[in-house]
Structure formats: C-alpha cells, structure tokens
Amino acid sequence: MIIKEETRRSFWFNLVAVLLLSIVLYVLFFVSLGFITAHGKELKIPDVTNKDMKTAMKVLKDMNFDVYVDSTYEPKLKPLTVLSQIPEVGAVVKSGRTVFITVNKKMPPMTPMPNLINLSFRIAEVQLKNNKLVLGDTSYQPDIAQGAILKQLVNGQEIRPGQMVPQGSRVSLVIGDGLSNVQQDVPDVVGMAYPEGMALLAGSGLTCTPIFTGEISDTATAVIIRQSPKARNELGTPNHIKEGDIIDITIKQNPSQDEFDVSPQPAGNTNDQTP
C-alpha cells in the first residue's frame, strides 16, 4: 500500500510539473514572439528616388533595411541616380525588410539606330524616345517630301539604320521643307564624274536619284551620261527647276561618246559640247 501511495504522489507531482512547465513555455513563447517578429517596430519607407546610389543605400541601411540594387538606363539623368524603388515611398513595413532600388547605369548600353528616313517629325521623335535616344538639332532643307525626315545624324555624321550607337546619343534631323518658290536653271552635269555631279546638284539644293547602268567598278570614275530634266529644252534655252525638286541622273563606267545624251545647244551656238 505504501508503494502505491508513493507512486500516486509521484504521478500527480510529475503531472503538475509538466503542466507548470507547459504554461511557462507558452508564456515565454508569446512574450518572445513580439521580439522575434519586431512587433511594434514598423517603419515608413523613405523617398530615395533621384538621390545618388551611395546616399540612398546609407539612408536605407541606417534604418536597418536590406538593399537590393538593379539598373537600367535613362539618358536624361545622371549616372547612378536612383530611378525607382519598391516598396513605394511611405509604405509601412517591418525593420529588416528588403528594399529594391533601380539606379541609372554608369555607362550607356548600345542600341541600334532606328530608321527615321521618310517618317514625320512626330513619329521620329517617338521612335527616338523608345530607343532611349535624345532629339538633337533640327534643320530644314528644300525637298519635295515636305515634313519628312531626310537625314539622321550623330555628331555631324549620317547614321544608317541598324548601326549601333550609345543610348542617350543626340540625333540631329534634317527635315524636308517642301519645294522652294525660287526658280533656278537646271545644272548641266552630263559628262561629269559621278561624285562631281552629285556635289554640284547637292550644292544647288536639288535631290538626286542616281541610276547605275552596266557594271560599275569604281563610282569615283564613273560618268554621268544623261539627266532628267535636261539642262536645256529643245530650243536650247535653259530649263528651270525649284530648289528641293528631284533630278534623275544615269551613270556608267567608261561610256562611249555616242552614249552621252547632251542637251540641245542654243540657236547659233556651234561649239561642240560633246564630252
């Protein structure tokens, strides 16, 4: 009987001890839960946009935030400037939260030059923005294609579509200004070397359409054999053309004398004009 009584007392003692230990652990768990989860230590996300990366990271780390940095490129802002952040400014979060910031790249990436030729100015402006290029100077040139882009240049050099240029490059545009009201004599370029004739026509404010015939081995020595319109009409008097208008020229390598389409000579002029 004594043994049973001692066993019974031992059982109840152990049961009470287990219950007391469970209560203590339960209380300790909920007391420490607030500390573990930083309950009550909520912070507002500061505004670090438009700050430089080092300053932004210091502000966030001083508030016990982790920082993850990504990058993209915005040509109008300084390198390493913070462009955006997640969470947003003013969001209430717990200490230790990761804040994602996107900064402006230090070196601009390369991008293919879009084809702006023959586009309107407004569409060309949108294309430049989509490719993160900056609109530079605009100038106008007499041309039948009024309002259309005639040339696209970077640092004064024409850039062909697809050519790689740094994002943020300033692209200057030459825009057609329509035909001028100024009439001028049609230049006579028949018999000239191709580069010489092109230079003369460009200097006269005319748009040239070259037509190559036969095998061309060297454009520098190829010769213009005909043009339309001609320099003179059937009566031998000068034809007239407006600035910006189009003149077609036909070019051939080593043409014979019979292949030159020479303009008619003025009446009474017996000089031989054959090249």
For residue range 207-226, list pLDDT tens digits in order: 889 999 999 999 999 999 99
Domain-wise residue ranges, the chain: 1-37, 42-104, 110-176, 183-259
Sheet holding 98-104, edge to edge: 66-72, 98-104, 82-86
Average pLDDT over residues 252-273: 77
pLDDT at residue 13 above 60? Answer: yes
pLDDT at residue 117 above 70? Answer: yes
Q: How confident is the model at residue 9 (pLDDT cuts 50, 70, 90)?
A: low
Write the pLDDT tens digit of every residue in 39-59. 556 888 999 999 999 999 999
CA distance 1 to 3: 5
Fold held by 42-104? Trypsin Inhibitor V; Chain A (3.30.10)
Counting residues of the chain whose pLDDT is more than 70, the rounded percentage is 84
CATH architecture of 183-259: 2-Layer Sandwich (3.30)
pLDDT in the model for residue 103: 95
CA distance 261 to 251: 12
pLDDT in the model for residue 3: 54
Q: Do domains 42-104 and 110-176 have the same CATH topology?
A: yes
pLDDT at residue 200 above 60? Answer: yes
pLDDT in the model for residue 95: 84
Averaged confidence pLDDT in the chain: 85
pLDDT in the model for residue 30: 58
Phi, psi (rounded to 5 degrees) for 257: -60, -35
Least confident of 113-122, 125-134, 138-147, 247-256: 138-147
Question: CA-based diameter of the chain, in Å?
Answer: 157
CA distance 102 to 88: 12
Residue 60 burial (10 A CB sphere; 0-12, 13-18, 19+) = buried
- 224 or 21, greater pLDDT: 224
- 18 or 50, greater pLDDT: 50
Q: How confident is the model at residue 175 (pLDDT cuts 50, 70, 90)?
A: very high
CA distance 269 to 266: 6
pLDDT in the model for residue 4: 55
Q: Does domain 110-176 have CATH number 3.30.10.20?
A: yes
pLDDT at residue 188 above 80? Answer: yes
Amino acid at 4: K
Q: How many Cα atoms within 13 Å fall on the side-chain side of residue 102? A: 11
Residue with tokens 């969470």: 87
- Spatial CB neighbours of 105, under 8 Å, sequence gap ≥ 6: 71, 72, 73, 79
